[in-house]
Amino acid sequence: MKTSCILLCLTLAGACSLAAQTPSINAGGIVNAASYAYAGLPSGGITPGSIFAVFGSNLGPAQFAQSGAYPLPTTLGGTSVKVTSGSTTAQAYLFLSSASQLTAMLPSSIPAGTASLTVTYSGATSAAQTFTVAASSFGIFASNSGGSGPGVITNANSQVYGLTTSANPDDAAVIWGTGLTAVTGNEAGGALPGDLPNLPVEVYVGDTKATVTYRGRSGCCAGLDQIVFTVPAVTGCRVPVTVKISSIVSNNTTIAIAAKGSRTCSDPGGPSAADLNKYTAQGNTSIGVVTLARTSTSISVPGFGSITTNADVGGGSFLRYTAQQLDSAQNPFGTELYNSCTVSYFKGASATASDPTLPKYLDAGTALTVSGGAGGTKQLTKSTTGGIILYSGLLSTIGATGSTGYLDPGNYTVTGPAGPDVGGFTAKVTIPGTLAWTNQAALTDVTRASGQSVSWTVSGDPNGYVLIGGSSASGTDANAVGANFTCFAKNSAGQYTIPAATLLALPPSAVVAGVPTGVMYVGLSGTPQPFTASGVDLAYIVYTSVSAKTLNFK
């Protein structure tokens, strides 16, 4: 990689102007500088010799200071960072110092275990913040600088793979990240390249285990790692990529892979290669998505038995991305890949994760109208918050399992009245059948390290997907952390085994008031049906129908 580590670290840092006061480290504010995995997640540890970030206030100067040359300093802009683990205390090496964020390298001499860190700036020292030092906890840099979506995965010439610069099967691809393991030598003096063949590094592309040919420090920069692997025979625009070392799984990123003979990717149900080339040339793309969804959730409550809640809902959004954003957004076209899983992290009780790449939201009018269900017409009303425009509505609450709701099998139409950005439209979708999750009742505990098989029978759309997913969290309070996963399989497969490399990214479930914080679901996702609307390049409507239950991930 031609870009220096110093410049790389600068892309990860933001400086804000604060008065010089006692430094304060945010709770959970010590994270891997590539993955940003929350403390408390299985991947939330910091590896000796890796690059990490510290977030807080009054950590350094209002105008950021950067290290311009090797050797890396232990004092920068008036800031120093002390780390203690067991009987070992050392000063971290600093790349960047600012009031709200520090970027540093943890010395390889720091042993694994529970450690404490203090920041000293202008003679004032923060309270100690504890964090976990892990022997290996790898993070993949991402194009959105937030640890999700397309990864910083390049060819041999350091060109990042993208929608129109995709990898091909059998290419040698390079994952850029940090957190492989400690090294020996003068790590503050610059790069210490060298393969580490005894380190049990595994790379998964979709569900396929790739061949790894190098795993070690880059020849570029201190603390920056490279993993070189051979791209397997998988294609798609958002193919998941994860790295597993022993039982610790990295953040989930993606790579674009095109069939040999082309460097532009494509997906079933998504834009064609020709469309992607056009969107790139025109500089932006507008996308519309309308979803109709049925959810049935079973919760086992002590003293009450199993309680099932059901709901039919609808939603819609219309978004405009720049060509550059298409290569950094998590999944702008909403396309999926059979036999693959994605994982995202969240913090707080909402169990949702956000995409740092923010598109422009488009206005399609006051409300969308849904018709075709037993309850007549329904409205998906518009909400606008901070420039985010969303359409949503509760179509029905069903009550007991098996009772009639709005989104029963049949034909449905969603119409838009026209708005300032999106013209009027009519979108049609057929809900053809149902899915039965055949081993749902048998699942109460899931051992993450063993993977988990799910099975089903399905009627209806033979070309649709089966959705398999869930989440687990450390609790339900505002500081709880967790992870979501979503996998896709063919309707006709009848069963799928969620890989251990996916489930190990989830934290073990907590139990709150007798109810576990783990949830798993299995359901249908129909083939996306396109519709046209002026002001939108690509638009489709899709239905989903899922059954969910609370359970314990352990």
Q: What pLDDT score does 422 carry?
A: 98
Give the tens place of pLDDT for each residue, 386-436.
999 999 999 987 654 445 688 988 999 999 999 999 999 999 999 888 889
Measured distance CA(284)–CA(325) in Å, rounded: 9
3-state secondary structure 45-88: CECCCCEEEEEEECCCCCCCEECCCCCCCCEECCEEEEEEECCE
Q: What φ, ψ does residue 22 adopt, rounded to 5°?
A: -65, 130
Supply the pLDDT for residue 12: 40
Residues 243, 252 contacting (CB under 8 angstroms) = no
Q: What is the pLDDT of residue 298?
A: 79
Q: For the ranges 139-148, 163-172, 351-360, 470-479, which has the lowest average pLDDT?
A: 351-360
Q: Report the percentage of the chain scoring pLDDT > 90.
A: 81
**Rg of the Cα trace of the chain?**
24
- Answer yes or no: are the C-beta atoms of 279 and 326 closer than 8 Å: yes
Give me the domains of the chain, ranges plus CATH numbers. Answer: 5-133 (2.60.40.10), 139-257 (2.60.40), 273-553 (no CATH)
Average pLDDT, rounded, for the chain = 91
Nearest-CA neighbor of 124 among 2, 228, 19? Answer: 19
Apex CA 326: angle with CA 322 and CA 330, to 5°? 130
- Report CA dihedral (44, 201, 446, 47) to the nearest 10 degrees: -20
pLDDT band for position 375 (cuts 50, 70, 90): confident
d(CA 453, CA 439) in angstroms, rounded, equals 9
| DSSP-assigned beta bridge partners for residue 334 | none
Cα(126)–Cα(330) distance, rounded to whole angstroms?
A: 36
pLDDT tens per residue, range 172-182? 999 999 999 99
pLDDT band at 5 (very low <50, low <70, confident <90, very high): very low
* Whole-number Å distance between alpha carbons of 464 and 479: 37
Q: Give CA separation, 128 vs 82, 106, 182, 333, in Å.
A: 9, 16, 23, 44
pLDDT band at 301 (very low <50, low <70, confident <90, very high): low
pLDDT in tens, 437-458: 999 999 989 999 999 999 999 8
Does residue 14 carry a pLDDT above 50?
A: no
Strands 445-446 and 435-437: unpaired
C-alpha closest to that of 64 among 96, 40, 88, 89: 96
Q: What pLDDT does 2 receive?
A: 37
List pLDDT tens digits, range 222-243: 999 999 999 999 999 999 999 9
Report pLDDT digits (tens) over 488-535.
999 889 999 999 999 999 999 999 988 899 999 999 988 889 999 999
Predicted confidence band of residue 118 (pLDDT cuts 50, 70, 90) = very high
Q: Say which residues have a Cβ less than 8 Å from residue 278's Cβ, sequence separation at least 6.
A: none
The residue assigned the tokens 């979108």 is 427
3-state secondary structure 393-444: EEEEECCCCCCCCCCCCEEEEEEECCCCCCCCEEEEEEECCCEEECCCCCCC
Instruction: Give the model confidence (pLDDT) of 514-525 as tens digits.
Output: 889 999 999 998
Average pLDDT over residues 267-271: 86
More confident: 10 or 359: 359
Q: What is the mean pLDDT of residues 241-259?
A: 97
Which phi-psi region, left, alpha or beta, contains residue 273 (left: φ > 0; alpha: ψ -120 to 50)? alpha
Report the pLDDT value the prediction gives residue 16, as an integer from 0 to 100.
Answer: 36
Question: What per-residue confidence (pLDDT) applies to 305?
Answer: 64
Structural tokens at position 459: 């009627």
- DSSP bridge pairs for 230: 172, 211
76 residue type, one letter? L
Cα separation, 43 vs 226, in Å, equals 18
Residue 3 is encoded by which pair of tokens? 């870009």
pLDDT at 325: 95
Least confident among 22-31, 33-42, 373-382: 373-382
Identify residue 498 by its one-letter amino acid code.
I
